[in-house]
Each structure stands twice: as structure tokens, then as C-alpha cells.
Structure 1
């Protein structure tokens, strides 16, 4: 018979050993101070100080006030580390990527909203590695070249839409990005106007962008709130989560089901989904798991590829409207290299340094993800004499990195010439903003080569064919846009502004109309 007294004494002994070890075995970094940060309040720490608007700019200012490029916040027990310099980001997120590559556990975004398998949010591990393999195989630099015809087709369609209704340029930009990514991901031809799948992608990005901000929803800090019913006062987040979950389901399932139907009928063109499905092998159960990963990875491409590129192209238009002299220089270069009345393509890219500089400056001036996408450090670490607790959420402040006065003098000014040398060639000594704009380490954006080629061809073709100027009011007075952006969220975009977009000449108009529809 089991000796209960012996069991009890053994259990007590194990507990004493555990208590002793907890008291005596300490982290080698336990005595080190935490990085500086705003003074916390008792219990809740900095929870009430966390910014809800223009977060990246607030973090940058805190860093200046505290004379530190690394900051620490405590949100009711959740450690937040903010990195304001590219050098620190490279040291921690690149060189120490083995412990800095996971993602925060967001109750709101993953459990309640259903975005748990969105690749940027998946924790570091086997599932993420499997999804990443699909993306790397299809979107490494050489593989990305196969998608250029889709990008050119979408850009030419965009030019025609600008001719027809230039005032709707913002809608046309979103349609252009959505058209290209739907072709590339699913081989689906979108509807000419107001395609519901493009709307779904935009809604998904908006939802994730809002929910992923640290401190945006208290349920991420106090997880027990997920059990609060929707009808209770203060539980409006539950209603939002339910509505956003429906968006997530549509994003993952509807285009994927259509792509599978096209594939089964033999009418599908090659796409990311078709190539991944054709490569499946193994047992039925393994194939089912792999197929689910393909579906979720495709959903990520579909959502992320629609709004992020759109934001950069809108930033470019805003910059050209505000800087007509720079627009004129780029158009002169295009006319000399491509010929006035001709549309540029990828064969011209290496001969267009000023246009390429505009692409770089559009990425730098108003980064699409100003506060980056948060990492999580899985093991306690030390940097520059500071302790970084295990489990800390690490925010790479891309805005601060891309607006560093030492790297980019006068950073608030849009100035593509900062990337050129005295001979007008791209200057390799100036840091490429893409090194920060697309993330860091093992979590760097796998679609960055695709995104960069899309942005180049969009910008080059618009500059070659249109003049972008200030719109005028009823009295003929030019309207200068304030240049405001969405004030919060992981992904930001220019708020709607008016612009006058007109063909440069009859020759450029004819060049646009000459492209087949």
C-alpha cells in the first residue's frame, strides 16, 4: 500500500528544494538595471502612459528625453523594450535572432479575432518554419522575377484608371495592389471595380494593425477579460473581435476555395497556391496539415500585399505633389532613358538612379510600419549593461531608425538626392532604408523583393506618363494637403488628400491607351 506519510514528506522535500533553487540560482543578469523609461505607477506600471496615437514618434521623443536608444516599459507586468536605433536592432534582432525571433501572444488578435495563423504573428517554431519555407521557395530574389508580368499588367491597368477618373487615385492604387497579389497568390482575376476580396484584404490589415499595437486592448494585458460576455458594459472589444473574426474567415477561405476550384477544373493559371498544392506529398493526414498551412500562408500574402504597397505609392504621390522640382528631375531622366511617350519596364531600372532614389525615399520618409512588428525575446539577455527580461515584447521603432539625423540629415524633408553621389549615381555608402523598412533577422518580410519591384514599376510608370500637382479649390487657389497619416496602428497610410493628376502629353496618353486591357 502507498505510504502517504512518505509521499507527503517527499513532496514537501521537493518543494523545499524548488524554493531553495529559486532563491539561490539567479540569472547572471539579475543585478543589472533595466533600460531607462518613463516613471511607472505602482502595480499598473506604464499602462496609462502607453501612447495610442503616433506611437513611434512618441517612443522616439522619449528616447531623446532620456538620452537612450533603448527604452523599457512595464504594462502591468508585461515587459516592453523599445529599440530606437538600427545598430541596436541589428545587434539584438539580427545577430541574436535565435532568441529574438518569436512574437507576442495577443489574445485579441489570435484567440478572439482568428488571425492566429497569420505568418507575421505566428510564434517562432515548427509551424512558422514550414510557412516560411513556402514563402522563401516562391519569393526569393530569383523566383520573384516570374511575377513581374503580373505587376506590369496591374500597373498598366492602374494608369488607364487614372486616365478615366484621376480623382479616385486612392481607390485605384488599392485596386492595383489587390489585382497583382490576387493574380500572384491565387490566379484569380479580380472584378473591374470594388472587388469584395480586395475590400476584405484591406479590412483584415486594418483590423490586425489596430489590434497588434501594445496596449490597444486591455484583454492582451489581463487575459481573463476574454471570458467577459459581449453584452457587458466595457466589453465592446468582444463585438469588434466577432466582426473581425468574420473578416479573417473570409480572408483565409474564400479566395483559397476559388483557387482550388479553378485548379480542379483545369482552368487555373500557375500561382503560389497551385505550385504549393502540386508539391504536396506524404500521407493524407500530413497533406491535410500542409494544405492548411498553404491556405493560411496564402491568406497572409493576400492581406499583407494589398495595403502595404498601396501606402508607399500614396506616399510617393503626396511627395511629388509637394515637390514638383523633384518630379521634373525624375521625368527628365525617364525621357532620356526610356523616351518620352514610352512606358518604362524592369529592363530600365538600373539606368534610372533618380527614380530609384525616389523609391528609397518613399520607403524612408513615411514608413508603412513605423513601429515595426513586435518581437519577443525568449531568454533573459543583457545589452549595454541593461537587463532584458525573458518574455519581453521588443518593438523595433522603424520611424526612429529612418529619421535618424546622423544617418539621414534633415530627415523630415523628402529628399531623394540623399541617396545619390556627386555624379548622380546611387551612393552605396548611404544606408538603404529597406534594411529597416522590411523588418529584421529571421522575421524579415519574405515578400520584400516582390514589394520593391512593385513599388519601382508603379512609381516609374506614373512619373513617365502623368503630372502630379496640387488640386485647386472653387476659387482656383491651390490646395496644399496637410500630409496627415492614420494616427495609430501597426500599418499607416496617408489620409485622403486631393491632387491634380493629368497626362504629361498626348504621347503619354496614347502610350497608356495602347496597352491591351
Structure 2
């Protein structure tokens, strides 16, 4: 039998050996970035990029809300080879991150984060024995019992200082609030107070926060995890990577100096009741050994989380109160009823000051501190309402989108603390343990409720929830108290114009 020497259209048999691989390669390229079957719906994809071309460099959180309105509360994005699942649904957040927390406890791999933090920031590191050991230390030290006993005098003293500062120079409210927040954190973690804005203990934490924001801001660095071919770019041409390395040096230098100052104090025989003092004394022991920089950056990470988020949330409430004097007046009336003019409010007054708590909750709802959330990592496949949540996908819980849904508020864009009156007396631990996911959705500064799931969720829920909420509530109380005092003093006119000046 004689075989024909060629194929139709003039093709030779040898052509098959490159046509077939070429066809397979073309198929791989054309389907790279496409949405797989059974994934939640989402924006149309294009070959290779998927939805990467749609990701904005700024305002990502508002885009997540826009896509949710268009594609539903649970949707997917394709970024190159990776899959992102966005949960803008309270039930989905509760069932996945709370009930199945162990499956979503980790963080996705992000080379920029690894470069910038070297797995030494507790909020951003992967789940590991080191992470569990550090979390155990922080959770124990910032327990509700310690917050209401050992740390309460610190809180009340710093709030009293803030009240004095605000009354003297209200136009410097932003500086005073940030100093107070940093000071409470530095006292509890390092045993040193921030005497003024020029103090290392006041400004250093905000330098570190600004640096990390620039180093890991979404959309500002190469997506090498989603597009592995980008790993071929030499480091010397990869400016964002160099920025990440620079941040690590900045962060480590700051927290090394903080430890040096504590050790210098201790060498002079001055030992205090701070977290670092207890670690150095071995009154508190870590379950795994930590290097010099690992311990310093662990404590620095706690300081950053405690200071910046609390200051931001407090400033949000102050600004909205200044713009809405009608709600400010309700707070003043409540303070008059409970405290009169003879004394400032204290933590013991919490249950008698429900409207103050409503103000805190509404500030956290309308302007969440981390509006887009911090990503989780899915360990295994899971089905939700007929949609596949695949293993290896990134899970996002966008606090801004959740808090501005029609479920959260009848008028999400309007500032209205009154809507929280039916649950004003509930504290973070109660809501964290609640079985009703619709209650969880209305609480948070990142910690607890939907917004805590945005930052942590499940086993990643922030350990200092009560700590942060007490601090925010204290600052709002200070602001409301000083408005009350000022309206009864010669500064009445200055305070009446305060809202207009700061808005």
C-alpha cells in the first residue's frame, strides 16, 4: 500500500507536528484569563488579561460596589490565571468566613507583600505556627478583662488630655486625635506616652503607615502572581519591588528604634507593665522563637493596626458630626442627662450613653477604614447557591460595598446614627458571637461584624476589637463633651463655626 505524499491543501505530514502544538498553544492563550464554568458571574473577560484591564488604580472599593450592583452580591473577577471571588452578601460572608473559617483563614500569595513585610506583619502574613503564636500573645494581652481593668486608666487619662487640647485649640483636632491614639497604643505596647506631636511615639507609627500604603497599594505594582511571565523582568527595572524593599527597611528601622528606647529605659532600672516589657521579662512567652526583627515588627504591626485605624475612624465621626449638628445636639443632650457639667463621661457610663455608640457605629458604616477589605485565601472547593468557590481563589469582603447596600440602610449614602438605636447597647464580643449574620453586618471598625470580616473574618478576626472600639468611643465622647463645654463658655462662637472650618 502506497501512502499519499501530501495532505489536502498542499500540507505535508510533517506540518501536523507543529500545527497541533500551535493549535494547543493558541487555545491556551485564548482561554487564559477566561471565566471557568460554574464560577459566579462577573464582567466579560478578554484573552490573557481576564478582567485585569478593568481594575482601577484608585477607587477600587467603589468599583467593587458598582460591579456588585451589576452582577449580583456574589461575583467573580479573573485576573490572569487567578480567580477573585467578591462577597457582597451577608449570608455568604457568614456561611463561608464564619462557619467555614478554617477554609478561608489564610492570605493569598502576593510577592509584593512578601518583599515589603518578609512575613513579619501579623495582619498580612500567611497562617503559620508563627502567626498563631503571635495572635495568641496579642489576644491574651488585649483581652476584654485587661481592657476594662489595667488599660482603662490609660484610656481615661489620654481622653482627658485630648479634651483639654480640643478646648484650647479646636482647629488642631486632627493632630490631637492622632497623637492621642498613638499614645494609648505606645503606652500599652512599649510603656511610653506620646507627649506631643513631635514625640517619636506620636509620629513614627504614621510614617510607617504611609510607607506601607505606598508599597502595597493595589494597582501600583506588577501582578507577578497572576502573570508569572512578569517574573522575567530584572529587579533593577522593577520600581515597585524596589519600593517594597525600601519600605521593609523603613519599617524595621522604626520598630528597632522603639525597642532600643525601651531597652535603654530598662537598663536604667525602669521596668513597666507594657507588652514589650512582659516579653523581655518572659512573663509572656512566645510558643515559637522570634528573631530580633520578627519580634520588633510584630509589635510594630500591632501598633500600626491600633493607631491608624482608630484615628481614621475617630476623625470620620468628628467630621460627620461637625457637618450634622442635629446629631451632635442629640449626643450633647444625652451627655447632659448622664454626666451633667460636673464630670466627664467614663467607660462605666456606656449603657447609659447609647447614642454615642450609635455615632461610632454609623461612622464605621459610612466610611469603613479598609473599604475594599483584606483578601482571604480559599483552601478548598466549596459550593454556594450553585456557584463554585474554587480552591486557590482570592476572597474579598468589601466593607464599603456591604455597608452601602440597601440591606444595610434605607439610604446608604446619608449619615444617620439613629438607625442603630435598636442595637446601640451591643458590644463587639456579643456581635462576634452572634448567630444572626444580619446583626454582624452593622458593627465594626474593621474588627467584628461585616467590616471585621473585610479585614479578618473567621479566625482572622482582629484581636483588639474591644480595644479599638473603646478607644474610638472615648475619642467621640471627648469631642462631644468638649462641644458641650464650649457651648457653655466664651468659646461658644468659635465652636459654632468649627464644623464649617473643618469640612
| Same fold flag (TM > 0.5) | yes
User: Equivalent residue for 2:443?
Assistant: 433
Matching of residues 72-221 of structure 1 within 5 Å: 72-111=76-115, 113-145=116-148, 146-221=150-225
In structure 2, C-alpha distance between the alignment counterparts of 1:242 and 1:436, rounded to whole Å: 33
User: Equivalent residue for 1:16?
Assistant: none
User: Equivalent residue for 2:350?
Assistant: 349
The change in CA–CA distance for 1:448 and 1:298 in structure 2 (over 3 A counts) is same
User: Equivalent residue for 1:460?
Assistant: 477
Q: Does 1:451 align with 2:468?
A: yes
In structure 1, C-alpha distance between the alignment counterparts of 2:350 and 2:498, rounded to whole Å: 33
The change in CA–CA distance for 1:45 and 1:425 in structure 2 (over 3 A counts) is closer
Q: Does 1:42 align with 2:47?
A: yes
Q: Does 1:312 align with 2:313?
A: yes
User: Equivalent residue for 1:271?
Assistant: 274
| Post-superposition offset of 1:49 | 0.7
Gapped regions of structure 1 (runs ≥ 5):
1-29, 470-476, 482-497, 501-517
The change in CA–CA distance for 1:96 and 1:229 in structure 2 (over 3 A counts) is same
Once the two structures are overlaid, the 10-residue window that deviates more, 342-351 or 157-166, is: 157-166
In structure 1, C-alpha distance between the alignment counterparts of 2:251 and 2:411, rounded to whole Å: 41
| Post-superposition offset of 1:430 | 5.8
CA RMSD for the aligned pairs?
3.0
Matching of residues 348-497 of structure 1 within 5 Å: 348-421=349-422, 432-434=442-444, 435-439=449-453, 440-466=457-483
TM-score by length of 2: 0.80
In structure 2, C-alpha distance between the alignment counterparts of 1:31 and 1:178, rounded to whole Å: 47
State the secondary structure of the residue aligned to 2:117.
Answer: coil
Contact kept, 8 Å, 1:33 with 1:387, in 2: the verdict is yes
| Post-superposition offset of 1:437 | 2.3
Contact kept, 8 Å, 2:162 with 2:478, in 1: the verdict is no
Question: Deviation per CA, 1:383-422, whole angstroms, max 9, x where unpaired?
Answer: 2212222211111111122222123221111111111149
The change in CA–CA distance for 1:430 and 1:436 in structure 2 (over 3 A counts) is closer
Gapped regions of structure 2 (runs ≥ 5):
1-34, 432-437, 488-495
Once the two structures are overlaid, the 10-residue window that deviates more, 156-165 or 310-319, is: 156-165
In structure 2, C-alpha distance between the alignment counterparts of 1:137 and 1:302, rounded to whole Å: 16
> Which of 60, 63, 66 pairs up with 2:68?
63
In structure 1, C-alpha distance between the alignment counterparts of 2:284 and 2:351, rounded to whole Å: 41
| Post-superposition offset of 1:213 | 4.9
State the secondary structure of the residue aligned to 1:48.
Answer: helix
In structure 2, C-alpha distance between the alignment counterparts of 1:40 and 1:317, rounded to whole Å: 42
In structure 2, C-alpha distance between the alignment counterparts of 1:267 and 1:308, rounded to whole Å: 30
Contact kept, 8 Å, 1:40 with 1:46, in 2: the verdict is yes
| Post-superposition offset of 1:341 | 4.6
The change in CA–CA distance for 1:262 and 1:288 in structure 2 (over 3 A counts) is farther
| Post-superposition offset of 1:223 | 5.8
User: Equivalent residue for 2:296?
Assistant: 295
State the secondary structure of the residue aligned to 1:71.
Answer: strand
Once the two structures are overlaid, the 10-residue window that deviates more, 288-297 or 456-465, is: 288-297
Contact kept, 8 Å, 2:189 with 2:303, in 1: the verdict is yes
TM-score by length of 1: 0.78
